[in-house]
Amino acid sequence: MNPRHPRADGPRRRTFTPDQKLAHLTAYEEACRQQQGGAYLRREGLYSSLITEWRRLRDAGVLDGKKPGQAVGKPSKDQAEIARLRRELEQTQQRLDRTETALEIMGKARALLEETFQERGYRDQAEEALMNAYTELTVHGLSTRAAAGLTGIARSTAARRRRRSGPPVPREVVPANRLDCTERAHVLAVLNSAEFVDSTPIQVFATLLDRGVYLCSISTMYRILAEHAQVRERRRQARHPARAVPELVADGPGQVYTWDITKLAGPTRGVYYDAYVMIDIYSRYIVGAHVHARESGPLAQEMMAEVFGIHGIPQVVHADRGTSMTSKSVATLLADLEVTRSHSRPKVSNDNPYSEAWFKTLKYAPVFPERFGSLAGARGFIDEFVSWYNHEHHHQGLGLHTPADVHYGLAAAKANERADVLAAARAAHPERFATNAPPKVLDLPAAAWINKPVESTTDDDHQQVELPAA
């Protein structure tokens, strides 16, 4: 954990000028007419909530004439009403255009079919005409279900034909300038000769070039050596001593807690608040979340004392090597309570994965603000987000259970209820299920690990903390 504030030249969140918002709206609406609206949002990294907000501002006329960096502001009551009426008019016009287009396309298709079926043996041409009509209908905004009803082409048939008509996968082409096997063997023999065995490819290239000999490029020499696993660091460089890998496992709640501190941008540039967050790694339940104006060991000790008083004393507390995490006040508290301390290795970011993953969930959420107006506002937001995460967020790593259900032992009952729902659905429509096994995404892991060891790893290379039965 770096105690300093983020650098002024560090990464910044993406912002949009009024012109960019209008351009995204135009492109998104064009993509929607081609049934590609969702693809456009994913491709551009936008949320549908942004499109809704920008469309409301555009329809109210708030974005017109705004310069980059100029505040947009909220639409007035009259502007909002005008925007609503304008949107209804546009939707009505779009429905009218789709209806007229569908009637025109189906009229042409029907005329072509009547002409085609005057003679026998033209079934392929008739199906092609209907398929073309289906494609035109979907391009002009009709849903695939409506297009299928008008043309009689099943949606699965249309999708299969579109996949079949895709371009062929090109074969890998061998470059014309590639050295053949004999030439590559000769280059390898020269590099491994007694004269050049201790020289780098760059030195070999320069020496041979001065002698009037050119074998290949420097990068080709490196590629040939890499193909034979002969590219290794041989210089006498200082190495950091090997650190023990922290290996922690929890098969129930209340065993292993992990915690970290993240920065929250304040009301002005250079002002930040510090969010102290502690997580139960088994249930992913946020057992403690405090926001303060600074980072310090005594504040961390205060949070831990409160968490331990509510949720009980864990067996292990894991954190990185920040100043607050290794402070004397925190170490004294954990030692007095006989809690095992565990720390990440230096410069290894993924030794504290649960805290880092939660911070990303927090800061990548659509509701996360760019700045907090006050310390009280930051505390209120974190409290609301933690409540939503604990009790409403269906975690993919927990079999789509909420952290609260797993933490308080309600997951088993919920799993039985879900199994009954799936069994009823399978009994009603057995043809829709390829297997009797439940979806793997609903499996609740038996244990949560930090650095789960590989079976072939020896005990001497790792420091594993074994927990007694809860």
- Residue 318's region, left for phi above 0, alpha for psi from -120 to 50, else beta, is beta
Average pLDDT over residues 206-223: 95
* Mean pLDDT, all residues of the chain: 83
- Quick check: helix, strand or coil at residue 435? coil
Residue 292 near residue 301 (C-beta atoms within 8 A): no
Least confident of 26-30, 73-77, 410-414: 73-77
> Residue 467 has which token pair?
């927990």
Q: Which residue has the higher pLDDT, 135 or 339?
A: 339
Least confident of 135-139, 186-190, 206-210, 327-331: 135-139
- pLDDT band (50, 70, 90) for residue 470: very low
Name the DSSP letter for residue 443.
P
* Average pLDDT over every residue of 107-129: 60
pLDDT score for 469: 40
pLDDT, tens digit (0-9, with 9 covering 90-100), for 154-198: 888 888 877 765 566 677 777 888 899 999 999 999 998 888 988
Q: Which strand ranges, in their side-by-side order, compose the sheet holding 245-250?
A: 448-450, 245-250, 462-465
> With 60 as the cut, is the pLDDT of residue 449 above it?
yes
- Of the candidate ranges 222-236, 318-332, 392-406, the one whose mean pLDDT is the lowest: 222-236
Q: What is the pLDDT of residue 461?
A: 47
- Give the span between the Cα atoms of 144 and 138, in whole angstroms: 6
In tens, the pLDDT along 335-378 reads 999 999 999 988 887 888 999 999 999 999 999 999 999 999 99
pLDDT recorded at residue 422: 93
Integer Cα distance of 192 and 186 in angstroms: 10
Mean pLDDT value of segment 425-442: 90
DSSP state at residue 323: T
Q: Is residue 466 pLDDT above 50, yes or no?
A: no
Task: Return the pLDDT at 7.
Answer: 52
Domain ranges of the chain: 91-162, 181-227, 246-470
Q: What is the pLDDT of residues 276-287, one digit of tens each?
A: 999 999 999 999
DSSP H helical segments within 74-122, as ranges? 77-116
Nearby residues of 408 by Cβ (< 8 Å), 6 or more positions away: 253
Tens-digit pLDDT profile for residues 35-91 = 888 788 888 888 888 898 888 888 777 776 555 555 555 666 776 677 677 777 777
Q: Is the pLDDT of residue 460 over 50?
A: no
Scanning 290-435, the segments in alpha helix (DSSP H) are: 297-311, 328-336, 353-363, 375-391, 403-407, 411-428
What's the pLDDT at 68? Answer: 54
Specify whether domain 246-470 bears CATH 3.30.420.10: yes
DSSP secondary structure, 174-238, as one string: PPTT---HHHHHHHHHHHTSTTTTTS-HHHHHHHHHHTT-----HHHHHHHHHHTT-----S---
Tokens standing for residue 383: 């409290």
pLDDT tens digits, one per residue of 314-335? 999 999 988 999 999 999 999 9
Q: What does the block give as tokens for 269?
A: 């540039």
pLDDT of residue 267: 94
What is the distance between the alpha carbons of residues 464 and 177, in angstroms, rounded to a whole number?
A: 52
Averaged pLDDT, 450-458: 72
pLDDT of 1 higher than 60: no
